[in-house]
Amino acid sequence: MDSAQEAQNREAFRQAIVNTLERRLFYIPSFKIYRGVAGLYDYGPPGCAVKSNVLAFWRKHFVLEENMLEVDCPCVTPEVVLNASGHVDKFTDLKVKDEKTGNCYRAGHLLKDFCKDKLERETNLGEEKKAEFKHVLAVLDDLSAEELDTKNPLSDPYPFNLMFQTSIGPSGMLPGYMLPETAQGIFVNFKDLYYYNGSKLPFAAAQIGQAFRNEISPRQGLLRVREFTLAEIEYFVDPEDKAYPKFSEVAKLEFLMFPREDQVSGRSAKRIPIGEAVAQGIVNNETLGYVIGRVYLFLTYLGIDKDRLRFRQHLANEMAHYAADCWDAEIECSYGWIECVGIADRFAYDLCAHTDKSGVPLVAHEKLPEPREVGKLVIAPVKKELGLAFKGNQRMVVEALEVVCLVPLCIYLILRFFFGGFEIQRPWEKRSSGVESDPGI
Amino acid sequence: MASSGAPKSHIDAAVQSLNVLKLDKASIKTQLQSAVSSNTDAFRQALVNTLERRLFYIPSFKIYRGVAGLYDYGPPGCAVKSNVLAFWRQHFVLEENMLEVDCPCVTPEIVLKASGHVDKFTDLMVKDDKTGTCYRADHLIKDYCKEKLDKDLTMTPEKAAELKHVLAILDDLSAEDLGAKIKEYGITAPDTKNHLSHPYPFNLMFQTSIGPSGFSPGYMRPETAQGIFVNFKDLYYYNGNKLPFAAAQIGQAFRNEISPRQGLLRVREFTLAEIEHFVDPQDKSHPKFSEISSLEFLMFPREEQMSGQSAKRLQIGEAVSQGIVNNETLGYFIGRVYLFLTRLGIDKERLRFRQHLANEMAHYAADCWDAEIECSYGWIECVGIADRSAYDLSAHSDKSGVALVAQEKFPEPREVEKLVIAPVKKELGLAFKGNQKMVTEALEAMDEKVALEMKADLESKGEVEFHVCTLGKNVTVKKNMVSISKEKKKEHQRVFTPSVIEPSFGIGRIIYCLFEHAFYLRPSKAGDEQLNVFCFPPLVAPIKCTVFPLVQNQQYEEVAKFISKLLTAAGISHKIDITGTSIGKRYARTDELGVPFAITVDSTTSVTIRERDSKDQIRVNVENVASVVKEVTDGQSTWDDALKTYPLHSSGSAED
């Protein structure tokens, strides 16, 4: 079958399923009687029931099974929290504006569509041109605002923050945002949760909640929407000991994995037992491997076809600099391979960022059976000298140094992973800026 | 006395002693009040300390010094909440086959314009002139009046009566009235004593902007109901075009409160569970009403409130038949809400259904009842049950142009007399030029009574003054401009806008009241300290059971882990505690989380199960323990049944 025929079949299949879903009220565009709002959907009775079954199973499979600490934090979040996490500065997409109508588009999307269109339709394309388009598609996420300029009658690309902004309280002086992910609510509570857990590591905290992203141009139905349900888990572990006691329970599972090496060398995904992947160092550590195995079980129990499910490792350019290793559970559907669950070893980044901004140390302690003698770096700012040298700026300089002291204390690895809700088709694609779920790059 | 001719001196003496008694009574009353309120404060302090220390809930973003009116549920609170919501789903959605939906929180402006929220969802606010701090005007006046009434013993009876009157009518006062009262009483900013601004309306919705253009304003929804109303047409079709049916939704709602207070009771973001039951306005009977009609509970009808009586026990069946509750469907939901709340563990003596007074209700509402729960803050509205008539659906029909109506097909066509209003466009055009359209629309919108009056006037006088609200003035309508007649028509169906009966649950408020009703203190075995206990029913308990090895050794730990596996397989949330602390301390810890059962491993073959409130223990085989706990927590059997089946274990000094 040629590729055009295949695309047509795919289109027909999708049309049939979407018709059924909307007719039987699995989901429908929200506010339809007012002609709707792009990127907002309602779950009708059957969809709502599927969603609550998926969430109930998620709770059972993860929270109950692992004795996780579930929390429930508000969506309205003051600016200071999202400043610390990096979202206020970096959670942006590059957008372009039609200079006449004022319509906005995602610059990355336009470029992607252009390249794909050219590659599929123009058979007489020169080999160099073809290679160039393919290259552009590959590096799309890394392009900066200048490189994205396509010389169309559009404005220059400029960053647009994807958070819904609002104002808390009547004064108008306290800006706030709707949470773009639920994880921050867990990080800021680390200290209390650690105490609740008897001041012991490892433990995991979980949250199910609404998240909000003011997408520039929502598309692909439920796959890229402006409001969605996230289920997130944060595992907190000792960075010096990422072994996991229950790893043996999943070690024999075998499923499609797509390591970095294979992607770069153009091979395809292959079946590897997760135990072997960890032993060979393909997956960074046991805890990460355990979670990958549990996610595999979760998705296949739900009814996801195991032959259309793979775990793809992030390439070096996709990962935040601080991350140790990232794997996405990708599910194949009519839109291609869609990232549905992200499993990332985020190192100590988030807790350090909040420690830094709030001044509250978010740290864990390990009591040593015997006192140990260690060589320790001691940074002691001499206030008097600094005062003389920096005058009014003295405090800032002192604090910056103290924060440097704190960093070695932030000894956690945080595995976080994201889940979409229903249909296992939820927005988790790359951002054009490469700063999607990894603020702070 | 005066009429019996007693000497004046006697009367004076009697009056004097009476006055002394009155004064005594007054001072005793104040003492009592302050004793009660200091007790209440102490109780609440102990409760809130426990709740926050055990992470039931904590102020959000604490490490950044928090934001007023935002709270996180920590692990046990989160579990209680999800148990309450699961039970709500079972008790309402499943039981009545409701259509559950799930709509976004971000809502475009037009939807909330139609519902009236953009224009009317406001509170009156005053600002500290110097610092800019904002307060709710009515709160300041309420606090002032209450404080005066409580503390000022020298106040004249007239003054006291006036303040009480102000408290009673507070909700009816306009911005001007409130401003005048603030001036009259010399109320200043509570924190700084600065002068206050005039009251002005502040919209309580969080505003935002949808999409990148900045031209599409949106709000975070202040209630979940609108998502159901705008989907009425699809839901009606989904239900086979049949009435009655109910739709339900659980979701977050947002209110940008001016000054959040009272912990979880008035917050800026909360979970609502709402039901919209759509019925034919001509038939509000309910087929299952008889199932709950003999329930009897505290009701507080309008009459009793007006005449200063207190709430009384009424059978809901009787309340409906006497017309105290407007209709059967409303009565049915009141009964179901009563069952829901009491099964969660709300004390039925501290739960009442209070009818809205005429001035509390929206003009379109047929009848409203609030389920109020008494807690240390007084009687708190936790569930509102309102018959909102056709208001919401009509409003969205008007604004969207999509008819949100239901049809009833007649078995046989019926002959009906119908009012026909036919404006004569040509004449109207000549007379009103550019305003023609407005006049025509106003004429067509006349109800039957107004139209028939106009018809009579036009026939007798030839012309009539007619108010056109879209023009804001009267126009003269002449006889040749409109024809009004009644015609007989054959109709095959009746088209109407359904009435909506709306039970709306503030989940956070219910949970807070539940915490208060479940909390008690009991002395430790040694009697040297007070221990905190939450007596949650197993249904809502955050953790159903704990597992302890009696002493730290490997054998017992393995048994504990084995039991833990069985419990996980049975789907029972539990916690293992293998710390070396004394068993008494470990019991105290779980009592404080409201865990109903504790399994203590004191041998490798059999273990004990201890019930939280009675502290009774039974001995059960290791293999059976999970199924016993499951039966009791699922409600298939009771602890009393278990006591009869399994041998009682005398704990001796285990609790120490």
Q: pLDDT for B78-87, tens place per residue?
A: 999 999 999 9
Chain B residues with CB inside 8 Å of A28's CB?
Answer: 231, 234
Among the partner residues B209, B258, B396, nearest to A170 by beta-carbon distance: B258
Count other Cβ atoms within 10 Å, centred on residue A59.
19
Higher pLDDT residue, A122 or A249?
Answer: A249
Per-residue pLDDT band at A247 (split at 50, 70, 90)? very high
Nearest to B653 by CA among B560, B577, B553, B550: B550
Q: What is the mean pLDDT of residues B61-74?
A: 92
Among the partner residues A40, A173, A360, nearest to B104 by beta-carbon distance: A40
Predicted pLDDT at B558: 92
Crossing angle (nearest 10°) for helices A349-358 and A394-406: 150
Predicted pLDDT at B642: 92
Chain A residues with CB inside 8 Å of B111's CB?
Answer: 31, 34
Give chain B's mean pLDDT: 88
Predicted pLDDT at A394: 46
Count other Cβ atoms within 10 Å, centred on residue B401.
9
Backbone φ and ψ of A338, nearest 5°: -110, 130
**Bond into A202 cis (ω within 30):** yes
8 A C-beta contact, residue B479 and residue B462 = yes
DSSP A435: -
- Shortest Cα distance, chain B CAs vs residue A391, angstroms: 28
Cβ-based neighbours of A157, under 8 Å, separated by 6 or more: A94, A95, A96, A107, A145, A148, A149
Higher pLDDT residue, B365 or B537?
Answer: B537
Give me the amino acid identity at B460. Answer: S
Question: Cα B269 to the chain's mean position, in Å?
Answer: 14
Chain B residues with CB inside 8 Å of A73's CB?
Answer: 60, 72-73
Higher pLDDT residue, A123 or A360?
Answer: A360
Chain A residues with CB inside 8 Å of B211's CB?
Answer: 38, 104, 214-216
Cα separation, B260 vs B60, in Å, equals 14
Cα separation, B362 vs B575, in Å, equals 49
* pLDDT surpasses 60 at B460: yes
Cβ-based neighbours of B607, under 8 Å, separated by 6 or more: B559, B563, B599, B600, B601, B619, B620, B622, B625
Distances (CA, A) of B193 to A170, B114, B126, B133, B188: 20, 41, 13, 12, 5
* pLDDT surpasses 50 at B538: yes
Q: What is the mean pLDDT of residues B48-71?
A: 93
Both tokens of A294, joined, read 């549990």
Q: Which residue pairs, CB below 8 angstroms and at least 24 apart, start in A269-276?
A: A269/A310, A269/A312, A274/A250, A275/A247, A275/A250, A275/A251
Predicted pLDDT at A48: 92
Tens of pLDDT along B150-189? Answer: 888 788 888 888 888 888 788 778 888 888 888 888 888 8
* pLDDT surpasses 60 at A439: no
Smallest CA–CA distance from A49 into chain B, residue: B100
Chain A residues with CB inside 8 Å of B103's CB?
Answer: 30, 42-43
DSSP B269: E
* pLDDT surpasses 60 at A409: no
Predicted pLDDT at B169: 80
Taking CB atoms and an 8 Å limit, are B101 and A67 in contact across chains?
Answer: no
Per-residue pLDDT band at A434 (split at 50, 70, 90)? very low
Taking CB atoms and an 8 Å limit, are B55 and A37 in contact across chains?
Answer: no
pLDDT > 90: percent of chain A: 32
Taking CB atoms and an 8 Å limit, are B233 and A33 in contact across chains?
Answer: yes
The alpha carbon dihedral of A267, A269, A273, A274 has a sign of positive
Predicted pLDDT at A375: 54
Overall size of chain A counted in residues: 441
Per-residue pLDDT band at B416 (split at 50, 70, 90)? confident
Taking CB atoms and an 8 Å limit, are B64 and A71 in contact across chains?
Answer: no
**b or e along B91-117 (b: 16 or more beta carbons within 10 Å of the residue's beta carbon)?**
bbbeebebbbbbbbbbbbbbbbebbeb
Smallest CA–CA distance from A35 into chain B, residue: B400
Give chain A's mean pLDDT: 78
Give me the amino acid identity at B488. Answer: K
DSSP B243: S
Strand partners, A309: A331
Smallest CA–CA distance from A190 into chain B, residue: B63
Per-residue pLDDT band at A147 (split at 50, 70, 90)? low
| Interior angle at CA B92, CA B88 and CA B96, nearest 5 | 160
Predicted pLDDT at B272: 96
Q: What is the mean pLDDT of residues B553-559?
A: 91
Predicted pLDDT at B652: 52
pLDDT > 70: percent of chain B: 93
Predicted pLDDT at B449: 83
- Shortest Cα distance, chain B CAs vs residue A131, angstroms: 33
**b or e along A73-91 (b: 16 or more beta carbons within 10 Å of the residue's beta carbon)?**
bbbbbbbbbbebbbbbebb
* pLDDT surpasses 80 at A126: no
Predicted pLDDT at A108: 73
8 A C-beta contact, residue B226 and residue B115 = yes
8 A C-beta contact, residue B594 and residue B612 = yes
Tens of pLDDT along A38-70? Answer: 899 999 999 999 998 999 999 999 998 888 999
Q: What is the mean pLDDT of residues A94-106?
A: 73
Taking CB atoms and an 8 Å limit, are A166 and B207 in contact across chains?
Answer: yes
Higher pLDDT residue, B357 or A441?
Answer: B357
Chosen from A32, A62, A66, A76 to mutate, greatest number of chain B CBs within 10 A: A76
Tens of pLDDT along B601-622? Answer: 999 999 999 999 999 999 999 9
Question: For the ranges A245-249, B316-320, B347-351, B416-420, which has the lowest average pLDDT?
Answer: B416-420
Among the partner residues B73, B216, B268, nearest to A71 by beta-carbon distance: B73
Collapse the DSSP code of B501 into the 3-class scheme (helix H, G, I; strand E, B; otherwise coil) and give the result.
Answer: strand
Nearest to B217 by CA among B103, B102, B121, B112: B112
Per-residue pLDDT band at B384 (split at 50, 70, 90)? very high
- Shortest Cα distance, chain B CAs vs residue A22, angstroms: 10
Count other Cβ atoms within 10 Å, centred on residue B595.
24
Chosen from A31, A171, A207, A294 to mutate, greatest number of chain B CBs within 10 A: A31
8 A C-beta contact, residue A201 and residue A364 = yes
Sketch out chain A's domains with CATH numbers: 92-161 (3.30.40.230), 375-424 (no CATH)
Cα separation, A218 vs B104, in Å, equals 15
pTM of the model: 0.82
Per-residue pLDDT band at A423 (split at 50, 70, 90)? very low
Predicted pLDDT at A432: 31
* pLDDT surpasses 60 at B491: yes
Rounded to 10 degrees, the C-alpha dihedral B579/B585/B591/B596 comes to 60
* pLDDT surpasses 50 at A397: no
Among the partner residues B63, B206, B568, nearest to A64 by beta-carbon distance: B568
Higher pLDDT residue, A138 or B268?
Answer: B268
Predicted pLDDT at B463: 86
Taking CB atoms and an 8 Å limit, are A42 and B227 in contact across chains?
Answer: yes
Smallest CA–CA distance from A73 into chain B, residue: B72
Taking CB atoms and an 8 Å limit, are A70 and B213 in contact across chains?
Answer: no
Chosen from A21, A27, A33 to mutate, greatest number of chain B CBs within 10 A: A33
Chain A residues with CB inside 8 Å of B404's CB?
Answer: 33
* pLDDT surpasses 90 at B103: yes
Question: For the ranges A176-190, B4-18, B283-297, which has the lowest average pLDDT?
Answer: B4-18
* pLDDT surpasses 60 at B470: yes
Taking CB atoms and an 8 Å limit, are B258 and A48 in contact across chains?
Answer: no
Smallest CA–CA distance from B69 into chain A, residue: A169
* pLDDT surpasses 90 at A178: yes
Chain B residues with CB inside 8 Å of A168's CB?
Answer: 67, 206, 256, 268
Per-residue pLDDT band at B13 (split at 50, 70, 90)? low
Both tokens of B463, joined, read 């012309």
Per-residue pLDDT band at A175 (split at 50, 70, 90)? very high
Collapse the DSSP code of A26 into the 3-class scheme (helix H, G, I; strand E, B; otherwise coil) and give the result.
Answer: coil
Predicted pLDDT at A198: 86
- Shortest Cα distance, chain B CAs vs residue A232, angstroms: 14
Predicted pLDDT at A411: 21
Chain A residues with CB inside 8 Å of B61's CB?
Answer: 77-78, 80-81, 188
Distances (CA, A) of B220 to A227, A264, B191, B391, B507: 11, 44, 31, 22, 18
Q: What is the mean pLDDT of residues B466-485?
A: 83
In the block, tokens 């001509």 appear at B282
Q: What is the mean pLDDT of residues A74-103?
A: 83
* pLDDT surpasses 80 at B231: yes
Among the partner residues B61, B102, B257, nearest to A48 by beta-carbon distance: B102
Q: What is the mean pLDDT of residues B564-570?
A: 91
* pLDDT surpasses 80 at B529: yes
Predicted pLDDT at A46: 93
Give me the amino acid identity at B601. Answer: V
Indicate the burial class of A99 (C-beta count within 10 angstroms; 0-12, 13-18, 19 or more).
Answer: exposed
Taking CB atoms and an 8 Å limit, are A34 and B110 in contact across chains?
Answer: yes
Question: For the ranges A362-371, B14-23, B163-172, B369-378, which has the lowest average pLDDT?
Answer: B14-23
Collapse the DSSP code of A124 into the 3-class scheme (helix H, G, I; strand E, B; otherwise coil) and give the result.
Answer: coil
Both tokens of B189, joined, read 């900013």
Predicted pLDDT at A373: 63
In the block, tokens 């009609």 appear at B293
Cα separation, B395 vs B254, in Å, equals 22
Collapse the DSSP code of B496 into the 3-class scheme (helix H, G, I; strand E, B; otherwise coil) and give the result.
Answer: strand
- Shortest Cα distance, chain B CAs vs residue A299, angstroms: 19
Smallest CA–CA distance from B227 into chain A, residue: A31
Taking CB atoms and an 8 Å limit, are B79 and A102 in contact across chains?
Answer: no
* pLDDT surpasses 60 at B15: no
* pLDDT surpasses 70 at A392: no
Taking CB atoms and an 8 Å limit, are B100 and A72 in contact across chains?
Answer: no
Chain B residues with CB inside 8 Å of A66's CB?
Answer: none
Per-residue pLDDT band at A433 (split at 50, 70, 90)? very low
Nearest to A163 by CA among B432, B208, B348: B208
Cα separation, B331 vs A47, in Å, equals 31
Question: For the ranges A311-315, B467-471, B536-540, which has the lowest average pLDDT?
Answer: B467-471
Predicted pLDDT at A362: 87
Smallest CA–CA distance from A361 into chain B, residue: B63
Per-residue pLDDT band at B132 (split at 50, 70, 90)? confident
Count other Cβ atoms within 10 Å, centred on residue A216.
23
- Shortest Cα distance, chain B CAs vs residue A235, angstroms: 15
Give me the amino acid identity at A433. Answer: S
8 A C-beta contact, residue A68 and residue A204 = yes
Per-residue pLDDT band at B394 (split at 50, 70, 90)? very high
Taking CB atoms and an 8 Å limit, are A44 and B234 in contact across chains?
Answer: yes
Listed in order, strand segments (DSSP E) in B328-431 are 351-355, 367-375, 378-387, 406-423
Chain A residues with CB inside 8 Å of B399's CB?
Answer: 34
- Chains A–B, number of C-beta pairs less than 8 Å apart: 213
Q: What is the mean pLDDT of residues A353-364?
A: 86
Q: What is the mean pLDDT of residues B364-386?
A: 94
Taking CB atoms and an 8 Å limit, are B111 and A34 in contact across chains?
Answer: yes
Nearest to B574 by CA among B584, B564, B560: B564
Count other Cβ atoms within 10 Å, centred on residue A371.
6
DSSP letters for B563-630: HHHHHHHTT--EEE----S-HHHHHHHHHTTT--EEEEE-SSSEEEEEETTT--EEEEETTTHHHHHH
Predicted pLDDT at B420: 83
Give me the amino acid identity at B212. Answer: P
Chain A residues with CB inside 8 Å of B72's CB?
Answer: 71-74, 185, 189
